[in-house]
Structure 1
Amino acid sequence: MNRIKYVILASVMISLTSLSAYGKEPVKQPNIIHILADDVGYDDLSCFGSKDISTPSLDELAAKGMKFTSFYAPHGTCTPSRAALITGRYAPRINEGQGLYVLFPHSKHGLEDEMETTIAELLKAQGYTTGLYGKWHLGHLPQYLPCVHGFDEFLGIPYPNDHGPERIGNSGWRPNGVSDPAIPLIEQAQVIKRCDNNDLAELPALFTREACKFIYRSVKEDKKPFYLQYANIETHTPWFVPKGFEGQSKAAAFGDAVEYLDRSVGIIMNTLKRLGIENNTIIVFSSDNGPLVHRDEELENCYGKFGFTNPERKHVLREGKYQERYDGGIRVSCIMTWPGNIPAGATCDEPIAAMDLFTTMARIAGADVPDDRVIDGKNILPLMKGEKGAKSPHKAIYGFRATGGLLSVRYKNWKLILPGKHWTGELTTPHLYDLSSDIGETINVAEQHPDVVKTIMRLAEDANKAIESNQPIEQ
């Protein structure tokens, strides 16, 4: 599809004021920070129930804002989830329906600039300064890097911190078992360093410092609103943290990584306070997918305790990363704050999706969402504001594979798992769970509720057809 690049919006007069999401009173554009955690589970934060990981900064964020307890990541793995989030489109729609699966150092493709419009592009066209610090994972070649997709500044790594030279065992992902190169640290589009494991351990601190400098420059020098995606790396294997911060958690190396992320969140929050912009800044915390829950021999051989997943550590949701069947892979913790707009200490259990952030942020900033392609994200500002009677804008939320094919459907309080072959087991019939009483998806109640199964199966059929024909999913 040949289209006019949506950055035509840049030709529109740029202003530091815009209309509100309801298009009435002129308001000052808020700064927007999205803290995109990597592989952090639904209950890996103390404010979401963790007993062995302490997250006081995120707890404070939750106390000042709203917890979203039915927030769904678009996919159970990094690349398709991040692609969907940044474009507002279900993963199988990405790159004109080609989809985009997990990218590796030898991958030759990525998020196509001529096919997709990102939230960074929309906000930049509205006068925002845009920056990304941390992990990208949407293509490591120059034509796919963040600065091609609307980010003014980028400092980070182009793929996960475990795609390094020690990973030679899985030849299915690496051609002929060839080891990966040392992980590049990239500034804008320039590789400024090849990182060993000691370097990787210090990168989280570097990204935090540079993210805070970005905030300062945007406010004091550019004097423009900013959009910051802070995409941490330390909660993805290997769970390296800067020297002096090991052994702090009761949940081993992974717990140390989550607690270090929490410290970084606290530093960012303090930066906002010092600059006096806390009240005009939206902060969103979410994760790209669920946590590792199964042991991986290769990770253990490569990284020892920094790659060891404790199978005895329990989660409230079933399964974890690498799958879209059960909620452990795609239902993640989410917190949002915006003083004076999002009520403090609130909780919302309406089902929403990470793609909704695309549409909602665009509306808040005064941008129109693209009308030359299907956008699956909806405006959830009424939910964020805690408006009386506000409901999810989705009839259902769908767990698609990266390149198509539906595995699960969240409908009201119900979760349906579609039949078929999967590494978590083969199902010959649909399985239905009542999440209001069985958040762990342990009791199949399909036989007791055949009408519910029939209703959701019809939704699933329609959703699959909509994806295959590149049409909107009926809501």
Structure 2
Amino acid sequence: MRVKIKLFTLIVATFFTPFINAQEITKPNIIHIIADDVGYDDLGCFGAKDINTPNLDQLATDGMKFTNFYTPHGTCTPSRASALTGRYASRVNNGTGLYVLFPHSTTGLEDELEVSITELLKEQGYTTGLYGKWHLGHLPQYLPCVHGFDEFLGIPYPNDHGPERIGNSGWRPNGISDPQIPLIEQAQVIQRCDNNDLAELPALFTREACKFIYRSVQDKKPFYLQYANIETHTPYFVPRGFEGQSKAGAYGDAVEYLDRSVGIILNTLKRLKIEDNTIIVFTSDNGPLVHRDEELENCYGKCGFTDESREHLLREGKYQERFDGGIRVSCIMKWPGNIPASTQCDEMITGMDLFTTFADLAGAQIPTDRVIDGKDIQPLMKNEKGAKSPHKAVYGFTATGRLMSVRYKNWKLILPGKHWTGNFETPQLYDLNNDQGEETNVADAHPKVVQEMTKLADNAAAAMKNHQPLDQ
């Protein structure tokens, strides 16, 4: 019966679209597209040569590219928790932090301890929906409907956390066999998905996201849509008929399918004539895989293969907060009449800034009983004269609060210590204006810069430990 109701809603919306007065909605609709594990230069408009992304390229032509957008963390769960709450991951859950979650995990984003952007938007009359991946807790008390989402259809963790995986880092304890990936609607598991099912989910999520937009416009309510695709995370499964079309293998197929989904959503906005009152933000949750993984290849073949020969502008990728490849990602924003078309912003911003910016645009009050690390970036979005980054520096914290890197002006400081990306006994300094790939350590040539940034790092680490703001 539920399916029939949704189908009827779509039919009504399609035939009566001309009679909907979108201008009655004064607050802007907000669409946040969170790509999963997509690299900085894996879009055509950011330099990709082997992956075609015409819809995202057009989005950039119609809006603004942000070239120094830093996601809060190098892995999925902490990054998404930060974006949803406006706080560094190590602050989340009253300072206990939130790590990458798995099917056997018993923790998640605590509603009693955190305030999400969706909760603030709902207070301002928004309808809220999430289609795709959640990854902030799979138990009922942690699902999206507890955190201010009116609608949720998706999977609670990545599509490679199925029973075929063992887990290279020992994340599956005591030989536990994980269940097939659950497809959840609201808080109800409606299907257990095998790999063939997972391949068709991206198309389902796109269709349902468009239906959500239709329903929201029918109800004459502003909406917040989080579209969190799954196919660009291993395994790179795409719906039948879309395989083998990219020059970049299965991963390229997945990025190109994501681009098609973005195009469908954009066309829905055009059809409903709500483009002018809709903000679209495209980001990635973290950088891409850049190293091969034998287990992924054994489980998923070419759909688990990472091509190490593909060149990237940035050093390293996912799983680390040291080098830009893990935490600096592509970002595009469009809002006709507010964000000027064909523009580029090179100022530093973060994924946490979206929390504060969205809240301000909706007229919501920012919580004052906790540290909010996100800043309002509207002056940058609107290309106001003299607008600068609201951050003195951007910090690469782990989920446990260990500081790995500092971005300050054109400089990047890598702090010493042991890590799988390299054991450094002394600080490493890179000039990103001349060395975007962080290849040449210039610390010896700029001792005063190292000293200044080390002081920033010490102050930030102390502020984080003492639950204080970082920009003081």
TM-score above 0.5, yes or no: yes
Question: What is the aligned partner in structure 1 of residue 322 from structure 2?
Answer: 325
Q: Is the 8 A contact 1:126 1:365 kept in 2?
A: yes
Question: What is the aligned partner in structure 2 of residue 240 from structure 1?
Answer: 237
Structure-2 separation of matches of 1:38 and 1:351: 21
Structure-2 separation of matches of 1:74 and 1:474: 16
Query: What code does the residue aligned with 2:449 have?
Result: V
Query: What code does the residue aligned with 2:83 have?
Result: L
Question: What is the aligned partner in structure 2 of residue 456 from structure 1?
Answer: 453
Q: For 1:229-278, what per-residue CA distance to the aligned partner results, in whole angstroms no more than 9, with x for missing partners?
A: 00000000000000000011000000000000000000000000000000
Q: Secondary structure at the match of 2:94?
A: helix
Question: What is the aligned partner in structure 2 of residue 345 from structure 1?
Answer: 342
Once the 2 structures are TM-superposed, how far is the Cα of residue 28 of structure 1 from its aligned partner? 1.6
Question: What is the aligned partner in structure 2 of residue 441 from structure 1?
Answer: 438
Once the 2 structures are TM-superposed, how far is the Cα of residue 169 of structure 1 from its aligned partner? 4.7
Once the 2 structures are TM-superposed, how far is the Cα of residue 171 of structure 1 from its aligned partner? 6.8
Structure-2 separation of matches of 1:34 and 1:474: 26
Q: Secondary structure at the match of 1:131?
A: strand
Q: Is the 8 A contact 1:170 1:177 kept in 2?
A: no
Question: What is the aligned partner in structure 1 of residue 296 from structure 2?
Answer: 299
Structure-2 separation of matches of 1:43 and 1:377: 25
Once the 2 structures are TM-superposed, how far is the Cα of residue 290 of structure 1 from its aligned partner? 0.1
Once the 2 structures are TM-superposed, how far is the Cα of residue 178 of structure 1 from its aligned partner? 2.0
Q: Is the 8 A contact 1:35 1:284 kept in 2?
A: yes
Question: What is the aligned partner in structure 1 of residue 220 from structure 2?
Answer: 223
Query: What code does the residue aligned with 1:422 have?
Result: H
Structure-2 separation of matches of 1:109 and 1:329: 24
Write out aligned runs for 1:257-276 (5 A).
257-276=254-273
Once the 2 structures are TM-superposed, how far is the Cα of residue 281 of structure 1 from its aligned partner? 0.2
Q: Is the 8 A contact 1:66 1:348 kept in 2?
A: yes
Question: What is the aligned partner in structure 2 of residue 357 from structure 1?
Answer: 354
Q: Is the 8 A contact 1:171 1:177 kept in 2?
A: no
Question: What is the aligned partner in structure 2 of residue 151 from structure 1?
Answer: 149
Structure-2 separation of matches of 1:144 and 1:466: 28
Q: For 1:71-102, what per-residue CA distance to the aligned partner results, in whole angstroms no more than 9, with x for missing partners?
A: 00000000000000100000100000000000
Q: Secondary structure at the match of 1:43?
A: coil
Q: For 1:400-424, what per-residue CA distance to the aligned partner results, in whole angstroms no more than 9, with x for missing partners?
A: 0011110000001100000000011
Once the 2 structures are TM-superposed, how far is the Cα of residue 474 of structure 1 from its aligned partner? 2.1
Question: What is the aligned partner in structure 2 of residue 90 from structure 1?
Answer: 88
Cα RMSD, aligned residues only: 1.0
The number of equivalent residue pairs is 449
Question: What is the aligned partner in structure 2 of residue 207 from structure 1?
Answer: 205
Structure-2 separation of matches of 1:195 and 1:171: 24
Q: Secondary structure at the match of 1:95?
A: coil
Structure-2 separation of matches of 1:177 and 1:352: 42
Question: What is the aligned partner in structure 2 of residue 288 from structure 1?
Answer: 285
Q: 1:164 aligns with which of 135, 155, 162?
A: 162
Once the 2 structures are TM-superposed, how far is the Cα of residue 368 of structure 1 from its aligned partner? 1.0
Q: For 1:349-398, what per-residue CA distance to the aligned partner results, in whole angstroms no more than 9, with x for missing partners?
A: 10110000000000011011100100000000000000010000000000
Query: What code does the residue aligned with 1:280 have?
Result: N
TM-score, with structure 1 as normaliser: 0.94
Q: For 1:160-191, what per-residue CA distance to the aligned partner results, in whole angstroms no more than 9, with x for missing partners?
A: 00000100254710011322110000000000
Q: 2:136 aligns with which of 109, 113, 138?
A: 138
Question: What is the aligned partner in structure 2 of residue 375 from structure 1?
Answer: 372
Question: What is the aligned partner in structure 2 of residue 5 from structure 1?
Answer: none
Structure-1 separation of matches of 2:81 and 2:402: 17
Q: For 1:332-356, what per-residue CA distance to the aligned partner results, in whole angstroms no more than 9, with x for missing partners?
A: 0000000000000000010110000
Q: Is the 8 A contact 2:25 2:220 kept in 1?
A: no
Structure-2 separation of matches of 1:53 and 1:40: 12
Question: What is the aligned partner in structure 1 of residue 193 from structure 2?
Answer: 195
Q: Is the 8 A contact 2:246 2:256 kept in 1?
A: yes
> Could you say if the C-alpha distance between residues 169 and 411 of structure 1 is closer, same or farther in structure 2, counting changes exceeding 3 Å?
closer
% identical aligned pairs: 79
Write out aligned runs for 1:71-150 (5 A).
71-150=69-148
Structure-1 separation of matches of 2:169 and 2:345: 44
Question: What is the aligned partner in structure 1 of residue 332 from structure 2?
Answer: 335
Query: What code does the residue aligned with 1:197 have?
Result: N
Query: What code does the residue aligned with 1:36 have?
Result: I
Query: What code does the residue aligned with 1:348 have?
Result: C
Once the 2 structures are TM-superposed, how far is the Cα of residue 27 of structure 1 from its aligned partner? 9.0
Question: What is the aligned partner in structure 1 of residue 428 from structure 2?
Answer: 431
User: Please, which runs of 5 or more residues in structure 2 have no aligned partner?
Assistant: 1-23
Once the 2 structures are TM-superposed, how far is the Cα of residue 305 of structure 1 from its aligned partner? 0.3
Q: Secondary structure at the match of 2:98?
A: coil
> Could you say if the C-alpha distance between residues 27 and 105 of structure 1 is closer, same or farther in structure 2, counting changes exceeding 3 Å?
closer
Q: Is the 8 A contact 1:432 1:446 kept in 2?
A: yes
Question: What is the aligned partner in structure 1 of residue 7 from structure 2?
Answer: none
Q: Is the 8 A contact 1:169 1:177 kept in 2?
A: no
> Could you say if the C-alpha distance between residues 436 and 169 of structure 1 is closer, same or farther in structure 2, counting changes exceeding 3 Å?
closer
Q: Is the 8 A contact 2:25 2:222 kept in 1?
A: no
Structure-2 separation of matches of 1:226 and 1:347: 27
Structure-2 separation of matches of 1:169 and 1:148: 29
Query: What code does the residue aligned with 1:386 have?
Result: N
TM-score, with structure 2 as normaliser: 0.94
Query: Are 1:38 and 2:20 counterparts?
Result: no
Query: Are 1:415 and 2:412 counterparts?
Result: yes
> Could you say if the C-alpha distance between residues 88 and 169 of structure 1 is closer, same or farther in structure 2, counting changes exceeding 3 Å?
closer
Q: Secondary structure at the match of 1:28?
A: coil
Query: What code does the residue aligned with 1:106 have?
Result: H
Structure-2 separation of matches of 1:124 and 1:465: 35
Q: For 1:409-464, what per-residue CA distance to the aligned partner results, in whole angstroms no more than 9, with x for missing partners?
A: 00011000000000111000000000011000001111111111111111100111
Structure-2 separation of matches of 1:177 and 1:347: 50
Query: What code does the residue aligned with 2:274 have?
Result: I
Q: For 1:181-202, what per-residue CA distance to the aligned partner results, in whole angstroms no more than 9, with x for missing partners?
A: 1000000000000000000000
Q: Secondary structure at the match of 2:131?
A: strand
